[in-house]
Amino acid sequence: MKRTKSQQSARTTRTTRRRSGQLGLLALPAILTLSTLSVPAQASPQGTEAGPAGAAEAAGHREQRPNIVYVFADDFGWSNLSTGRTNDGNPSDFYETPTLERIAREGVAFDNAYASVNCTPTRNALLTGLYAPRPQNNVYLVGDLNRGGDDTLLYGPAQGREDGSNSLDPEAVTVGERLQDVGYTTGYIGKFHVTRTGEDVTALHGFDENLGGTSAGAPGAYHASDQQFASQIGPELDQYAADYTKEYVDENIRPYSQGVDPAALDALVGTDKHVSDALADATIDFIDRNNEDGDDPFFAFLSPYAVHTPIGDRQARADLLAKYQAKTPGATSSHASYGALTEGLDQSVARVVHHLETTPDPDNPGHPLADNTIVVFTSDNGGVERFTDNGPLRGQKGELREGGIRVPLIAWSGNPELVDGDRVNHTPVYATDHHATIASLAGARVPGRQPLDGVDLSGLFADPDARVRRDALYWHLPGYLVDEHRDQRPQSVIRSGRWKLSYSYEDGSWELYDLREDVGETDDLAEERPELVRELGRDLIRWLDELNAPLATLREGRAPVEITVSGTAYANDRATRHHGDTLVIQPGEEVPLVLQAPRHP
């Protein structure tokens, strides 16, 4: 049963008192503890089929549920990593991410993981477990759906809350609430973005502690000033904003540095703290405070600001900036300050993973926390081409091309029963799956009256023979993001197996790509495979119809549009069959998705 918001506030108060007034910190990289890998099938509308051992059998019905650490990087593209495991053998030849490379090797790396086009739609989808067209989500894009000027053909519908905010619906059940309901202590550290206020993170959205989360989508500045971070970052993080000391550098930076001049590390002493380091401090503190008595498992949601703008020399930590300025440029990327932010994020993950591996677990004598924790690392959208190379993918953040929505995904644990590692999994997965997976690992049941759109991936983590029971993934963007760098117009997309089909509402065209052979989306096969276009197009229409997805309307002042339809058209929350009917679309009316029937000679 969903807890009321007043009950949540009461629980937060009790938790705060139990901790003697200590500020709770947000957790670090995505880590799921070993508590219970036996997840109820009800955790998602479509679950995971296990192999011979079975997902539940592989995990065992554990008396102790796993801790969960979830790391949600910002604008971290598919090819940002120095490992080829998450990107089909296309690692960066300039940016260095040794820890992510290590956990991708030791854990399960996914090379077909997806998000949405930018921050807010992915964060809403992950936190709620629901596709954008669901009324409890209703967020498709940062800002509004008309980021294309005043002369576009179509006009995007209203999104978000009634006041236009992209923040979470207060009545939506977040993954934090699901874990609170089954006894987890939940902490959020870093960028939240989809909230009206930082206070709402704990009052409304299921987290016992919030360190730094606000409504802001960027940090303002990466370094503290006078031991305070910029106003876009919540003041709770300021307790970790003290200048670097020699002891801090020697314990928390030097052990994780590679190829950095020792003198550059010494020169950090007395300088302003970088927010990536502060977030690691906060995460480790949250873990330690919730590991003292071992009463409740913890869910630490670490949401770094890296590698979101602002990007520049002033935003990078000086030792890493000097390293990348001295490096030979790669064939694809060579942005020094971006590289420094990237490796700084990797060092944050390194510190958290090391802490899990070296900290005793009071509930498992003789074992470190890593043996009962899962760490998950991913990103909220694809990379920004000004700073990184998404190749061989086409497109970037803000676009529905693969470069805009494909992201790295890694699951890691010190326990092979939680994550059977040294594997690459090719299953297409989406942000909504993370909600279902985390809930499942925690043993949180989802009421049947409000199913999730994601599937439980924990079986894929634990069992090499597990398979996901799902036919397709879907995206819907009924608006515009057009600027000097991007050209995203109203589209709906389905990915089914190796095939990706896109529909463009402005001209009624379909594009079909075989992603197994053409991940760069260069060879449109729609005309060659009309039967496949119709098959996948019908599935896309069924999905839009089931979710009552809103569409863009013909802009006021435009001439009416006539469309002759022999087939199926979706608009106004329903799919309708037509037999040579001429539809006249007036300004202010939805412009339909049209799937024409085959023509017979």
User: How many CB atoms neighbour CB 358 within 10 A?
Assistant: 10
Give the Cα separation of 233 and 211 in Å (integer).
9
- CB contact at 8 A, 501 and 494: yes
Q: What is the DSSP annotation of 153-202?
A: SEEPPP-SSTTS--SPPTTS--HHHHHHHTT-EEEEEE---SSSSTHHHH
Annotated catalytic residue 578: no
| Annotated catalytic residue within 61, 119, 335, 435 | 119
Task: Please enumerate in sequence order all residues whose Cβ is within 8 A of that of 432, keeping only pairs 6 or more positions apart, or say none.
Answer: 125, 126, 128, 129, 130, 131, 452, 453, 454
Task: Please enumerate in sequence order all residues whose Cβ is within 8 A of that of 17, keeping only pairs 6 or more positions apart, or say none.
Answer: none
Strands 298-303, 185-190: pairing kind: parallel
Give the Cα separation of 499 and 512 in Å (integer).
7
Give the Cα separation of 455 and 115 in Å (integer).
14
Place of tokens 């009634």: 162
Chain center to CA of 571? 29
User: How many CB atoms neighbour CB 449 within 10 A?
Assistant: 5
List the structure tokens of 64. 């102790």
Annotated catalytic residue 485: no
- CB contact at 8 A, 39 and 32: no
- CB contact at 8 A, 500 and 493: yes
Give the Cα separation of 316 and 267 in Å (integer).
14
518: left (phi over 0), alpha (psi -120 to 50) or beta: beta
Q: Residues with catalytic annotation?
A: 119, 193
